[in-house]
Structure 1
């Protein structure tokens, strides 16, 4: 990888600021991390949400590659939109849809809260994306990182077990955004965590329609008209969803791709306008790809942006949606005393 040289005086110490107050008065803070190359990350404690990710380019310009909002009020209001965008948020307890909001665990039927027609989506009515997280650790050095935690009480959204989650965001000297999750439960439960940033390598004021997408997968999940998997896999060769070779970002995609080889990359995005590339690596069995960000002309994005249906693209690395109801999918069960782990890297290169 080509190293982006920057002034050695660039500061990497974290910066903390008050971002806003929740309706009950709870303070939400923003933390800014940076590496010595000039890469900058901003995270807020509401939803453990990434609000900004700035990348230095070879021509000394800087581009903010994620969508977001300028105020806490806008993040809160976004969950009232016809299709909440989960802008930059951490998603849990279960990313994706669970059919009919039910699953069986240890011969017991679990009834979850419904928030997507009859289904449960992204953790239910008030998932991890709308919770206040606590900062546990901040580190500065070769790797600049922040660790946030959230303790989900037993019965929250009707999920069994108290689930304690730790999430670490790290900026490496190789211009990687590294995301590491771990979780433990007091009872057997199901877990599927993911990150929901909308990426746009041309900046959050632009569109992704001309950026080149590669998905390192030959299969994806077949779904019904409500995007619920039916347990079958579709072969992708020479189809609309075959992104094994570069194609422009599709105008509509909301699909889970099967990652067969986790030691390779899962997907990549390249912007010819500024020669910036992002490569996604993960140890998860799938990557759910979604193009969107539409705020329905109701809420303004950062810098007064009007986000639309092609404003950004999500790479939601995760287990498969509705895995608790499909025995041929990788198990989403977390046993009492065991540890859930998930590691994903978004690596940036400027050419």
Structure 2
């Protein structure tokens, strides 16, 4: 694996934005910005021998800073924090102290996705980003130091290792919001084949907020245990925006999803130490100009957002998402690309 750091010439609050490219012996390349820890490219060789970018995004950093894009913001390729997904009414308490944050999705109005992260020195070819979130930012308590390391292995694994420490008890639930499409020409992802090893999904209310109830997937459109086309059972006007509880030991690295696309012959396996995979088929995606001037519309991508149970801060029966001083938050997620067996 090799790395290459390139200045974009753009600054936010006096901090320079860089693009860092990671490459491997297979000729694959990943481009990551230290703004929002954005994964902007993941170029691989498909089963036909063609180079193919499997991630939605923009040709350069200006696209991610464009006002029109930010006005209808889909979180393309960014880290999400301090708290991913939704917290009921933006309210929660820690040790009897109540907190009220903005009701915005994914950590508030200006979350980790809109910060310029520091690039730390590394010994091996990799990228480690660090952001120190101050006490009170987006109403979260404690000074939280977060590090995220990216590696691209020679087995075509994009490895994300997260860690965080705090000086006061705080809520944390990080994920990465990468939009994938394994078809070289893009388009609707209904024909992608997907398997999710999850016997239960999390019930949501009308605002997509997790209620605390687990629901068996058996006999529902959410049953991906045996694998099927994404569009096989979906409502084509709604798609999927659902959290699945993975059938694996808590905290252990295991399979979260397996996706194949017949035209390209590509396969994407996602592994994680997290207990939940949130599956989203981009219902609200509406980006006029993406890579190569091409726009992105609803259902033209899918996301596998590995995380803890959403809204855990308000559901005592769920595994805790409270990080305390002296403890370390850790998470690993791996996106592995290969060719599907024909």
* TM-score when normalising by structure 2: 0.92
Runs of 5+ in structure 1 lacking a partner? 1-11, 116-120
Query: Is the Cα–Cα contact under 8 Å of residues 63 and 69 in structure 2 kept in the other structure?
Result: no
Q: Tell me the alpha carbon deviations over residues 96-138 of structure 1, each in whole angstroms, 9 at most, x when there is no partner.
A: 10011110101100111232xxxxx211000000010111134
Of stretches 246-255 and 220-229 in structure 1, the one that deviates more from structure 2 is: 246-255
Runs of 4+ in 1 over 6 A off after TM superposition: none
Q: How far apart, in 2, do the equivalents of 1:81 and 1:321 lie?
A: 25
Q: How far apart, in 1, do the equivalents of 2:219 and 2:283 lie?
A: 28
Partner of 1:261: 248
Runs of 5+ in structure 2 lacking a partner? none
In structure 2, do the counterparts of structure 1 residues 50 and 335 end up closer, same or farther at CA, with 3 Å as the change threshold?
same
Helix, strand or coil: the match of 1:232? strand
Q: How does 1:144-155 map to 2 (within 5 A)?
A: 144-155=125-136
Which one of the candidate residues 286, 294, 299 is aligned to 1:296?
A: 286
Q: Is structure 2 residue 286 aligned with structure 1 residue 286? A: no
Query: Is the Cα–Cα contact under 8 Å of residues 64 and 204 in structure 1 kept in the other structure?
Result: no
* TM-score when normalising by structure 1: 0.90
Partner of 1:235: 216
Q: How far apart, in 2, do the equivalents of 1:54 and 1:294 lie?
A: 25
Helix, strand or coil: the match of 1:230? strand
Aligned length: 330
Q: CA deviation at 1:312?
A: 0.8
Query: Is the Cα–Cα contact under 8 Å of residues 64 and 70 in structure 2 kept in the other structure?
Result: no
Query: Is the Cα–Cα contact under 8 Å of residues 48 and 265 in structure 2 kept in the other structure?
Result: no
Helix, strand or coil: the match of 1:75? helix
Partner of 2:63: 74
Of stretches 255-264 and 34-43 in structure 1, the one that deviates more from structure 2 is: 255-264
Q: CA deviation at 1:72?
A: 2.4
Partner of 1:46: 35
Q: Is structure 2 residue 310 aligned with structure 1 residue 326? A: no
In structure 2, do the counterparts of structure 1 residues 346 and 204 end up closer, same or farther at CA, with 3 Å as the change threshold?
farther
Helix, strand or coil: the match of 2:267? strand
Q: How far apart, in 2, do the equivalents of 1:225 and 1:174 lie?
A: 41
Which one of the candidate residues 81, 99, 115 is aligned to 1:131?
A: 115
Q: Tell me the alpha carbon deviations over residues 314-344 of structure 1, each in whole angstroms, 9 at most, x when there is no partner.
A: 0000001110000011100101121000111
